[in-house]
């Protein structure tokens, strides 16, 4: 047995040999290809991203409504029946917004899974077709467990990329970006304290009347 065969056998015996070959930036091309595979379903992607933006907007609107409800609850004693009616109106609007946010989140989850399953289905068919066309020498040198892992685990990871990667990236970008803007536009010191991004804001906070 020559040196190359020994090294190949040792590499196959090490389950973490593929980790040593990975490096910074080597997975970007793979992510781009997976993204292009998901974008082959444009209308599902469009509906999913639109539902994500609407759900994020409704979620950011809920704290505003809660603050308005608190202010109106404090004014019920002085305003009387008018203040109570305004409080009930705000409560109903808050309920409707919460229901709509749940519905749009449902649409987001449904279409994100739809895109992921469609992409995984196409990739699984392409992988099976490729494996069937390979030579006998390939099947003689490759473990069956590696092919099973490729056909199940790796493709399932590709399926989850759109829902847990791209969609979550858009959702968190909107929530964190717009949420930070709303905090800072309402009160600069309180916004910096909440976001922990402004050194010295905690020391300046007790000095405010």
pLDDT on residue 34: 85
Q: Residue 132: inside a domain, yes or no?
A: yes
Q: Residue 4: inside a domain, yes or no?
A: no
pLDDT on residue 184: 82
Instruction: List Cβ neighbours of 78 (8 Å cut-off, separation of 6 or more).
Output: none
pLDDT for 126-162, tens place per residue?
Answer: 888 887 887 777 777 777 777 777 777 778 888 888 9
Q: Is residue 64 a contact partner of residue 98, using CB atoms and an 8 Å limit?
A: no
- 63: CATH: 1.20.1560.10
pLDDT at 97 over 60: yes
Around Cβ 124, how many Cβ atoms within 10 Å? 17
Show the domain range for 164.
Answer: 40-195
Q: Which residue has the higher pLDDT, 16 or 77?
A: 77
pLDDT at 113 over 80: yes
pLDDT for 36-60, tens place per residue?
Answer: 888 888 999 999 999 999 999 999 9
**C-alpha to C-alpha distance for 145 and 64, rounded to whole angstroms:** 54
pLDDT on residue 25: 56
pLDDT on residue 197: 54
**C-alpha to C-alpha distance for 151 and 125, rounded to whole angstroms:** 9
Q: Residue 105: inside a domain, yes or no?
A: yes
pLDDT for 69-95, tens place per residue?
Answer: 877 777 666 666 776 777 788 888 899
Q: How far is CA 98 from CA 56, 62, 92, 168, in A?
A: 11, 8, 10, 20
Tell me the DSSP string of 82-147: HHHHHHHHHHHHHHHHHHHHHHHHHHHHHHHHHHHHHHHHHHHHHHHHHHHTS-HHHHHHS-HHHH
**C-alpha to C-alpha distance for 153 and 169, rounded to whole angstroms:** 23
Q: Residue 22: inside a domain, yes or no?
A: no
pLDDT on residue 195: 65
Q: Residue 10: inside a domain, yes or no?
A: no
pLDDT on residue 7: 47
Q: Is residue 161 a contact partner of residue 168, using CB atoms and an 8 Å limit?
A: no
Q: Residue 62: inside a domain, yes or no?
A: yes
Q: Is residue 161 a contact partner of residue 34, using CB atoms and an 8 Å limit?
A: yes
Q: Residue 131: inside a domain, yes or no?
A: yes
pLDDT for 193-204, tens place per residue?
Answer: 766 654 444 444
Number of domains the chain contains: 1
pLDDT on residue 9: 43
């Amino acid at each position: 047995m020559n040196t190359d065969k020994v090294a190949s056998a040792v590499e196959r015996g090490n389950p973490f040999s593929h980790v040593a070959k990975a490096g910074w930036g080597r997975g970007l091309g793979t992510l781009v290809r997976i993204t292009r595979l998901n974008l082959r379903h444009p209308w599902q992607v469009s509906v999913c991203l639109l539902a994500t933006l609407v759900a994020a907007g409704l979620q950011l609107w809920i704290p505003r409504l809660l603050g308005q409800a608190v202010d109106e609850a404090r004014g019920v004693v002085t305003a009387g029946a008018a203040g109570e009616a305004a409080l009930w109106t705000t409560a109903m609007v808050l309920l409707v917004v919460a229901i709509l946010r749940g519905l749009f989140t449902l649409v987001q989850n449904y279409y994100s899974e739809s895109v992921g399953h469609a992409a995984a289905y196409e990739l699984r068919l392409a992988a099976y077709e490729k494996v069937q066309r390979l030579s006998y020498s390939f099947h003689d040198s490759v473990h069956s467990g590696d092919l099973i892992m490729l056909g199940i685990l790796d493709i399932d990871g590709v399926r989850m990329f759109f829902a847990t990667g791209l969609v979550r990236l858009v959702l968190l970008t909107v929530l964190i970006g717009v949420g930070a803007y709303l905090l800072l536009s309402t009160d600069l010191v309180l916004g910096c304290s909440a976001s922990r991004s402004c050194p010295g804001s905690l020391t300046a906070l007790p000095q405010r009347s």
